[in-house]
Amino acid sequence: MDRYQERGVSSSKEEVHQAVADLDKGLFPGAFCKIMPYDRFHGSIDHTDGAGTKAGLAYLAWKHGFPINVWRGVAQDSLVMNFDDMACVGAGAKGGIFRVTQNINRNPFRIPGEVVAELVAGSAEFINTLISHTDVDIAYSGGETADVADLVRTITVDNSVSTIMFKRDVIDASRIEEGDVIVGFSSTGQATWEDAPNSGIGSNGLTNARHDCLHPDYRADNETYSPEMPPNKVYCGEYHLNDPLPGDERFTVASALLSPTRTYLPLIAELVRYIEGDLHALIHCTGGGQCKIGKFGPPEVEYYKNNLMPIPPLFKFLQEARDLPWLEMFSGYNMGHRLEAVLPKNRAKESIILARSSGIEADIIGKVRKRRSKDRVIIKSDQGTFRYP
């Protein structure tokens, strides 16, 4: 059992995948998101996701004196985990309407109304940013805030997003073919629509991240972790929230871990505009990190990643904090790029230029080749070669 599972979290979500294995796969079974019938020309997408345990980290930071606006980043995280998954099938890339409803479950003994107000304001603020940088319209219709102190220790922040799109515009990852290349788009730096540099963390792997690097002093905040967690896996690091991030002192440990999840939707719209016919797949490297792509594409191919981007300081810090095996690092974190495009090699340069014009570094990080073994994803890096079935 890896460290992530010992803390009650699964990066592969095998039990979830087994539970839904017999459900209708929709109109495009190979697509990144399920697309259901709507009418003759359109399909519909209904998507639900959230900020995960990053909300617990925001609570810890806020409790220890960080300004209340830390919650605005959590609001963005929860929305991006929906918008960018949906954008990977082309939703929103040519405009259209996203309809958003929000579901907040809170323990009102610990989470006052002012935090809920920040989450709502942060959602509206981020939605306005997206509207100003894309052709998409977003209807933010409210939702449900439930006071469930018996069930939730602090707070969960989730959103449900729905839209319709033309079937002809769907990016179907089953189109991946041998000979394609994989272009990675950096999760760090500062995109043209962002107002501050991004550490690259996203919204995945935060359970390991906070417990591996934060000091045992935080064990006193026992509402921020499960009492069933093994005691030696709870806040077992050396760092405090305000400590400078080793390797990049633009960030503190807290600001690096709470860096808002980047949206790639404005970039995806540009990729669709210029490369649409040759865009065989877009992969949002969330749960599963660099292995996410292994869930998509025809079974006879494998993904060979031998030119990953330099590992950002945050991920080096997380690995060194508790000597987490690199095998787990690559399957738990995006490790420097959180979006991939799979396309013919002769279109790669164009996609890289589009990304750089948006302030996002990009490069060919791997290729699609005929499958040679049970392995689906092979990562060859300075840290070693790692194989994932």
For 65, the 3-state DSSP assignment is coil
- Average confidence (pLDDT) over 81-91: 98
Structural domain count, the chain: 1
Instruction: Flag whether pLDDT at 349 surpasses 60.
Output: yes
CATH number of the structural domain spanning residue 96: 3.90.650.10
* Count of C-beta atoms within a 10 Å radius of residue 70: 20
As a whole number of angstroms, the distance between CA 363 and CA 127 comes to: 29
Residue 369 identity (one-letter amino acid)? R
The beta-strand segments (E) located in 40-154 are 42-50, 97-106, 137-147
Report yes or no on 328 lying in a domain.
yes
- If one counts every other C-beta atom within 10 angstroms of the C-beta of residue 357, the result is 11
Indicate the SS3 state at residue 3.
Answer: helix
For the residues of 287-327, what is the DSSP string, one character each?
TTGGGGGGGSS-TTEEEEE--PPPPPHHHHHHHHHHT--HH
Residue 222 lies in a domain: no
What is the residue-averaged pLDDT of the chain?
95
> Would 184 be classed as within a structural domain?
yes
pLDDT in tens, 227-283: 999 999 999 999 999 999 999 999 999 999 999 999 999 999 999 999 989 999 999
Is 208 contained in some domain?
Answer: no
Query: 299-346 pLDDT, tens per residue?
Result: 999 999 999 999 999 999 999 999 999 999 999 999 999 999 999 999
Q: What is the reported pLDDT for 25?
A: 84
- Can you give the pLDDT at residue 268? 98
Check pLDDT > 90 for residue 215.
Answer: yes
User: In degrees, to the nearest 5, what angle opens at C-alpha 119 toward C-alphas 116 and 121?
Assistant: 110
Instruction: Flag whether pLDDT at 285 surpasses 60.
Output: yes
pLDDT reading at 17 higher than 60: no
The boundaries of the domain holding residue 159 are 3-202+257-388
Residue 170 has pLDDT above 80, yes or no: yes
Residue 236 lies in a domain: no
The whole-model pTM stands at 0.94
pLDDT of residue 19: 65
| Per-residue pLDDT at 1 | 56
Inside any domain, residue 61: yes
CA distance 387 to 187: 23
Residue 11 has pLDDT above 60, yes or no: no
Q: Is residue 244 part of a domain?
A: no
Cα–Cα distance measured from residue 276 to residue 188, given in angstroms and rounded to the nearest whole number: 25
Backbone angles phi, psi at 121, to 5 degrees: -65, -40
- Look up residue 356 and give its amino acid: R
Q: Are 207 and 9 in contact (CB under 8 A)?
A: yes
Q: Which amino acid is at 264?
A: Y
Taking alpha carbons only, the member of 318, 283, 285 closest to residue 297 is 283
| Cβ atoms of residues 242 and 234 within 8 Å | no
Q: How confident is the model at residue 298 (pLDDT cuts 50, 70, 90)?
A: very high
The full 3-state SS of 189-219, as one line of letters, equals ECCCCCCCCECCCCCCCHHHHHHHHECHHHH
d(CA 277, CA 293): 20
pLDDT at residue 142, as a whole number: 86
Q: What phi, psi does 47 have (nearest 5°)? A: -130, 140
Res. 9 pLDDT band, cuts 50 70 90: low
Q: Does the residue 241 lie in any domain?
A: no
State the pLDDT at residue 10.
Answer: 56
pLDDT at residue 194 tops 70: yes
